[in-house]
Amino acid sequence: MRSKSIPRLVRVLPYKRTTRCFSTSPPRFAGQVRIVEVGPRDGLQNEKKSISLEIKLELIKRLAQTGVRDIEAGSFVAPKWVPQMANSADVLNHLLGHPPSAPHPITYNYLVPNLKGLQNLLRTADGVKPGTAPDLSQPTEDSDSLPTLPPSPKEQEEAEPAPITSTEDPNEMPSDTSGVNDPVKPASSSALGNQTEISIFTAATEAFSKANTNCSIAESLDRCKEIVTLAKSRDIRVRGYVSVALGCPYEGPDVAPSRVAEVTASLLEMGVDEVSVADTTGMGTAPRTRDLLKTLSAAGVANQDLALHFHDTYGQALVNVVVGLEHGIRAFDSSVGGLGGCPYSKGATGNVATEDLVYCLHSLGATTGVDVEKMAEIGSWISTELGRENDSRAGKAVLARLRT
């Protein structure tokens, strides 16, 4: 039987060679990244050497001229728990009365552990008039009435460590001394636009919450809600911290991401404007940071409501920052010179150094507006003042280059 010819259904088109690209992925833009400088508060609170008010104010003054827009300036906690923060009322007085020159307005943040802490802050702020400041050689009236933390069951024993809170163009590589598209301009007064905000804190594990604040997570959230209610009645922005989100000195490194998401959502629901998710102990790794961020997203927490706070105990801070950047986080906490530490975790080192963070972000095409050279100079200066090693690798390298 003669077979029928099968009609040709596909017409062969002539092959045209195309230029092969190295990557078919769309370019990723790092964009604008916000740096929250925590050195004057989180960085200094655990220092053993006594730090004068003059040194604190000089540190803040210098930081204000680097281009950073957010600075943690103090903490309204009991002096017996955190002696280094005992003069925070004086810091607030001075910054309200005589704010340092800066290229743009700055938000100054103060940690408050409870309602009394916020009330003391408000009383201090309400008594200050622009252009006035206390005699820096004398303590303020409020110095002796700063808030106290909940009674400790070991109050009669040797003093415990201080409470802590550590406890969102692709091709051109920017200069390591600029913020790419937002260079730091010569310092000028922008004091009229300065803002005062507060921070509150809780934890992702019950053990750490008990050790740090002598209460459960639920109880700490109740306290936070009281603070937020009063702050909002005064139109004050509130920042929240979730400590030990990637590892706890008591419960180990495997903190449940779902617990972190639950606590974070609770803070946002009560009116907190931004939550800084903190790797207090520096146990975080890239895979666990990624898992945590995915869990937060799945829980409905938006990237713009988050900041990340890394310690560099195991040298993973910048790796985790890049993971956060790829996920879409655009706010990160850091401390000049790598100041800081965790008294509840043996071997825990300071916060990721601001100089290292800024250098890394600029190399990835991000815009921060922060002058890394100025920041490096400050890191060297404050480390010398404190009699400690400068923990910023980038800062020391930048200074070495500048001085050759």
Q: In this predicted model, what pLDDT tens digit does every residue of 240-278 receive, in sequence order?
A: 999 999 999 999 999 999 999 999 999 999 999 999 999
**For residues 84 and 203, is the Cβ–Cβ distance under 8 A?**
no
Residue-wise pLDDT for 189-232, tens only, equals 456 699 999 999 999 999 999 998 899 999 999 999 999 999 99
Which tens digit of pLDDT belongs to each residue from 293-350? 999 999 999 999 999 999 999 999 999 999 999 999 999 999 999 999 766 556 667 8
State what percent of residues in the chain have pLDDT above 90. Answer: 69
Region 82-106: mean pLDDT is 95
23 has pLDDT over 50: no
Per-residue model confidence (pLDDT) at position 53? 97
| pLDDT at site 401 | 95
As a whole number, mean pLDDT of residues 270-291 equals 97
Q: What's the pLDDT score for residue 349?
A: 73
Burial (CB count within 10 angstroms: exposed 0-12, middle 13-18, buried 19+), residue 292 = buried
Q: Which of 23-37, 49-63, 261-275, 354-368 has the lowest mean pLDDT?
A: 23-37
Here the tokens at position 79 are 């002096």
Q: Report CA-CA distances (Å) from 353 to 52, 350, 360.
A: 22, 8, 11
**Which run of H or of E encompasses 297?**
helix 286-298
Asked if the model's pLDDT at residue 51 lies above 90, the reply is yes
Confidence class for position 186, pLDDT limits 50, 70, 90: very low
Q: Residue 203: what pLDDT? A: 97
- In this predicted model, which residue has the larger pLDDT, 194 or 19? 194
Does pTM top 0.85 for this prediction?
A: no
What is the structure's pLDDT at 173?
30
CA dihedral 151, 155, 161, 167 (to 10 degrees): -20
Q: Averaged over 4-13, what is the pLDDT?
A: 50
pLDDT at 40: 97
Three-class SS state of 331: strand
Active site positions, annotated: 342
pLDDT digits (tens, 9 = 90+) for 128-172: 654 455 444 344 444 333 333 333 333 333 334 434 333 333 323
What span, in angstroms and rounded, lies between the C-alpha atoms of 90 and 77?
A: 13
Q: How many CA atoms lie within 13 A of 82 on its CB side?
A: 30
Assess whether pLDDT exceeds 70 at residue 46.
yes
Share of the chain above pLDDT 70, in %: 75
- How big is the CA angle at 343 (ends 338 and 347), to the nearest 5 degrees? 65
Highest mean pLDDT among 26-35, 241-250, 348-357: 241-250
The predicted structure's pLDDT at residue 294: 98
Cβ 371 vs Cβ 177: under 8 Å: yes
Write down the residue that tokens 């779902």 correspond to.
258
Alpha helix segments (H runs only) across 31-178: 53-64, 88-97, 115-126
Question: How much is the pLDDT for 343?
Answer: 60
47 vs 330, more confident: 330
pLDDT of residue 80: 86
**pLDDT at residue 158, rounded to an integer:** 37
Max distance between CA atoms of the chain, in angstroms, equals: 115
Range 96-109 average pLDDT = 96
Mean pLDDT (the chain) is 83
CA neighbor of 268 nearest in space, from 225, 297, 328:
225
